[in-house]
Amino acid sequence: MNRTSLIAFSLLFSSTSVFSQEAEFYQCLSNLKEKAIAQGITQATIKDSLDRVKPRPKVVKLDKNQPEFSATFETYFNRRVNAWRIQKGQALWKKHRKLLNQLTVKYGIPGQYILAFWGLETNYGGYKGKRPVIDSLVTLACKPRRGKFFTKELMQALKIKQKNGFSYEKMTGSWAGAMGHTQFMPSAYAKYAVDADGDGKADLWNSEIDALTSAANFLQHLGWTRAERWGREVKLPKGFDFSPIGQQKVYDLEKWKKLGVRMADGRPLVVANMKARLYLPSGHTGPAFLAYNNFKTIMRWNNSSFYAISVGHLADRIAGATQLVIQPPKLPRIPRDELKAMQQSLNALGYDTGKPDGIIGSRTIAALQNFQKKKGLIADGYPSDKVLKILLKSRINSKT
């Protein structure tokens, strides 16, 4: 084969595989159309939605993208709770004071929390995502990884479009299909979006009144407890036993008080008939938090304790609280494969972390705490540099 025909051959070969991928996509799209019609979506809606969809390889890439490092708490938190967000939140509280007070009465959510979600999700509407949501949802629905979930979300998005007469162009959002000021997925939009300004449509892109009311309504349904905080920063006594962290213990505030936990500024802990869990997102050198029932509600919105602490603290700051007493320390980021190796070492030494995945869950924390105790270290369950070095040494010694 000469060079020219070799190039022609390889071009043909690569374009065939692109063709077959495209053919697969359009077959999937045609199945989705049938499904939509069966669920009552009209031809007119399909013409301005599914008929306009193109495959979006970038969306697939973003869905697959597992960051090599997970952010440390310090990086995550400081990016989200900053002076600009606090000041902007306070200014918006003035602007929407009447509405926010009404929402607190009706749904039980204090204004500062609604603002904190809005600030974290889209910078108070500054960035709502520009991708056509229908395209993103079809692309993800046609991939096996989470196809079933995204097919359901797509059907909801089509129903929202049809019900409100929203155009294809209007329905933009994140790569995963989250929409509007507070980044609602279509299923949340369909269930909890409220038309509060009375124009006949729940419009989470263009109506701040609709968006804030919908956020309050959603939070109430996620289980927000009226008149309770999210949690608070606390001060732990010297020599504190950290084992409740890995064991995910939930104690009454009275019990935490008996264990020596105080307010962050050192005053006695304010006790009410409430339960709480302890979090040490940067280990014992960083701030400690007691997380109340509403912390769980925040995690139902976004299943991340870093997110929940950031929402809670941003809300406090918007309401005038001072900064954390202990600032999150700058600690090294640990690559995921190193965390995986750490879990393998712990397993090999008889401290069970489950299947190594490079993600620090409560089982890994508990295993690390047992190892730390055995070595006479502060057993906070945090994979600090020091702990990792001692672990590596123990692993090598155990082999010789």
Size of the site for Ca ion (CB under 5 A): 7
Q: Residue 164 Cβ, how far from Ca ion at the closest point, in Å?
A: 9
By beta-carbon proximity to Ca ion, the closer residue of 209 and 319 is 209
By beta-carbon proximity to Ca ion, the closer residue of 203 and 208 is 203
From the list 172-180, 192-200, 285-293, 348-356, the region that binds Ca ion by CB under 5 A is 192-200
Give the integer Cα–Cα distance in Å for 332 and 71.
Answer: 10
Q: Residue 201 Cβ, how far from Ca ion at the closest point, in Å?
A: 5
Which one among 63, 195, 252, 338 touches Ca ion, defined by CB under 5 A? 195
Q: At what angle do helices 336-348 and 362-374 cross, to 10 degrees?
A: 60
From the list 191-199, 238-246, 265-273, 336-344, the region that binds Ca ion by CB under 5 A is 191-199
Asked whether the beta carbons of 114 and 103 are under 8 A apart, the reply is: yes
Which one among 208, 210, 233, 380 touches Ca ion, defined by CB under 5 A? 210
End-to-end Cα distance, the chain: 57
From the list 91-99, 195-203, 249-257, 308-316, the region that binds Ca ion by CB under 5 A is 195-203
By beta-carbon proximity to Ca ion, the closer residue of 74 and 197 is 197
Q: Which residues contact 13 (CB under 8 A, 6 or more apart)?
A: none
By beta-carbon proximity to Ca ion, the closer residue of 199 and 352 is 199
Which one among 48, 63, 74, 197 touches Ca ion, defined by CB under 5 A? 197
Q: Six-digit token pair at 239?
A: 């020599």
22 interacts with Ca ion by CB under 5 A: no
3-state secondary structure of 349: coil
164 interacts with Ca ion by CB under 5 A: no
199 interacts with Ca ion by CB under 5 A: yes
By beta-carbon proximity to Ca ion, the closer residue of 35 and 201 is 201
From the list 139-147, 198-206, 252-260, 306-314, the region that binds Ca ion by CB under 5 A is 198-206
Question: Rounded to whole angstroms, what are the CA distances from 329 to 220, 279, 282, 311, 338?
Answer: 34, 15, 7, 19, 21
By beta-carbon proximity to Ca ion, the closer residue of 128 and 277 is 128
Give the integer Cα–Cα distance in Å for 38 and 396.
Answer: 62
Give the integer Cα–Cα distance in Å for 257 and 288.
Answer: 14
Beta sheet of 275-279, edge-to-edge order? 250-252, 275-279, 288-291, 231-235, 262-263
Q: Residue 210 Cβ, how far from Ca ion at the closest point, in Å?
A: 4
Q: Residue 79 Cβ, how far from Ca ion at the closest point, in Å?
A: 32
Q: Residue 183 Cβ, how far from Ca ion at the closest point, in Å?
A: 18
Per the listing, tokens 């909890």 go with: 192
By beta-carbon proximity to Ca ion, the closer residue of 195 and 252 is 195
DSSP 224-251: PPTT--SEEEEEPPTT---HHHHTT-EE
By beta-carbon proximity to Ca ion, the closer residue of 199 and 337 is 199
Q: Which residue is nearest to Ca ion (CB)?
A: 195
Given the DSSP bridges, would you call strands 250-252 and 172-173 parallel, antiparallel or unpaired? unpaired
Q: Residue 106 Cβ, how far from Ca ion at the closest point, in Å?
A: 16
Q: What angle do CA 275, 265, 245 make, to 5 degrees?
A: 40
Cβ atoms < 10 Å from Cβ of 279: 20
Q: Residue 188 Cβ, how far from Ca ion at the closest point, in Å?
A: 17
The contact set with Ca ion (CB under 5 A) reads 195, 197, 199, 201, 203, 207, 210
